[in-house]
Amino acid sequence: MADGEETLVVSAEPSERTDRGQGTIDTQLGWLQRQFCRVVETGPMPKHIGFIMDGNRRFAREQGVEVAEGHRLGYGKLEEALRWCCELGVKAVTVYAFSIQNFQRSCEEVGALMALCEEKLRHMCGEDSVIQQQGVRVRVVGDLSLVSQPLRQQMHAVMRDTQGNSRHVLTICFSYTSRNEIAAAVQKLGTACLEQKLLPGDIREELLERCLYTCPPGCPPVDLIVRTSGEKRLSDFLLWQSSKCCVVFTQVLWPELSLYRFLCVLVQFQRHQPALSSLLRRSTPPHEEPFPSPRASTAVYLLLFALLTAVFLAIGARVHAGWSFEGIGFLLGAWLSLVGYLLLQHSRAASPSLKGDGGARELSATKYRQFHSAATGDAGAQRVRDFVAELNIDKRL
């Protein structure tokens, strides 16, 4: 990471991976899984998650299957992770599907990836897909001039077919690098100045951010970036957007990612949320409180769930496993310690000292608007509004 970057970086697991999954795909959540989701939801939740889906090829080699099959399992895991995010109330998901640098791989692998992408994009349009069931709007962004015409047409088709969905947003970064995205945004601003739609004095950091094609109108900023496979780098993914978010590196390969490991990542995010909230409160201009405070009723729900689960654990350990009362006491003690930790996280998230000061944030936003008006004048502010409106229209097409 560059010096001075304010990204929070944490590792979700020890440096060595000690287990191996089978890359199974299960998009349906069971009752117990839903209850675990409800428990984690008692803490602050990210609104926008970015995934670097790394490890498909390594997983294929370890399982002794073709690389193309590893990528196919990777897509299945994307569907599964998308359902998890929808279940947890995450509004937006951005995934790193194909880098511009990936074109340097062998022709056979690139061709297989393109064919798989076209096949899965067609599947997204089907009524039985997670996309349609969960009301997900799909956006495919990147330098799409580098892909074939049939694939580009299929990308536009899935964007057109899902543009009416409004519950969630899935942004697929394909033929993408963050440096290419930033360069395209700068070029767009330069063209606007040449066409006299903007003046150089109109350009601000926030306006450049509006030009990034991973920042659609109405989409919350990225809160959390998750990279699988143990690599600790962003690989040119969301470099601009990651400056004020939490980055978690997990050792598991992408096809092996399970719901429970994903929930552990979210707990890591919640542990670092106070520092992240403080960082976001210092950003300019602030538009809203970084993370809404958990409802008080969630603490009651957590306690009831903990007591119910403790009863089932005790009965199961005694009747089916024949545990002694000492062993059952140790098990319940460990379980209640975990519940106590989650309750502490909940109370910290709900503490006024960690919440945004609405009055101060509104004052800061007012000062920002006054500064922008003073710097550009009313005419400049109108130019910026017209340019942003034109950008929003382009991104909705």
The pLDDT tens digits for 44-63 are: 899 999 999 999 999 999 99
pLDDT of residue 318: 63
Contact assessment for residue 90 and residue 47, using Cβ atoms and an 8 Å cutoff: yes
User: Could you give the CA distance from residue 41 to residue 36 in angstroms, rounded to a whole number?
Assistant: 9
Closest CA to 77 of 100, 98, 52: 52
Contact assessment for residue 343 and residue 302, using Cβ atoms and an 8 Å cutoff: yes
9 pLDDT higher than 80: no
The tokens describing 83, both together, are 């359902």
| pLDDT tens string 298-355 | 555 566 666 667 666 667 666 666 667 666 666 666 666 666 666 666 555 554 443 3
Sign of torsion over alpha carbons 319, 323, 326, 332: negative
User: Could you give the CA distance from residue 144 to residue 170 in angstroms, rounded to a whole number?
Assistant: 17
pLDDT of residue 306: 65
5 pLDDT higher than 90: no
Length of the chain: 397
Confidence of residue 38 (pLDDT cuts 50, 70, 90): confident
Residue type for position 385: R
User: Could you give the CA distance from residue 126 to residue 373 in angstroms, rounded to a whole number?
Assistant: 48
pLDDT of residue 359: 39
Containing H/E element for 376?
helix 358-396
Contact assessment for residue 171 and residue 139, using Cβ atoms and an 8 Å cutoff: yes
| pLDDT tens string 195-233 | 888 888 888 888 888 889 888 777 888 999 999 999 999
CA 64 to chain centre: 30
Residue type for position 341: Y
pLDDT mean over 176-193: 92
> Residues 6 or more apart from 235 whose CB is under 8 A from it?
52, 54, 96, 99, 227
- Give whole-number Cα distances, 193 to 85, 110, 185, 200, 217, in Å: 40, 38, 13, 7, 22
| pLDDT tens string 366-395 | 444 544 554 455 666 777 777 667 666 555
Q: At what angle do helices 67-87 and 107-124 cross, to 10 degrees?
A: 30
User: Could you give the CA distance from residue 246 to residue 242 in angstroms, rounded to a whole number?
Assistant: 8
User: Could you give the CA distance from residue 313 to residue 386 in angstroms, rounded to a whole number?
Assistant: 61
| pLDDT tens string 56-108 | 999 999 999 998 899 999 999 999 999 999 999 999 999 999 999 999 998 98
User: Could you give the CA distance from residue 232 to residue 146 in angstroms, rounded to a whole number?
Assistant: 28
pLDDT of residue 146: 93
| pLDDT tens string 165-176 | 989 999 999 999
363 pLDDT higher than 90: no
- Give whole-number Cα distances, 311 to 38, 131, 339, 340, in Å: 18, 38, 14, 17
pLDDT of residue 185: 92
- Give the end-to-end CA distance of the chain in Å, rounded to a whole number: 34
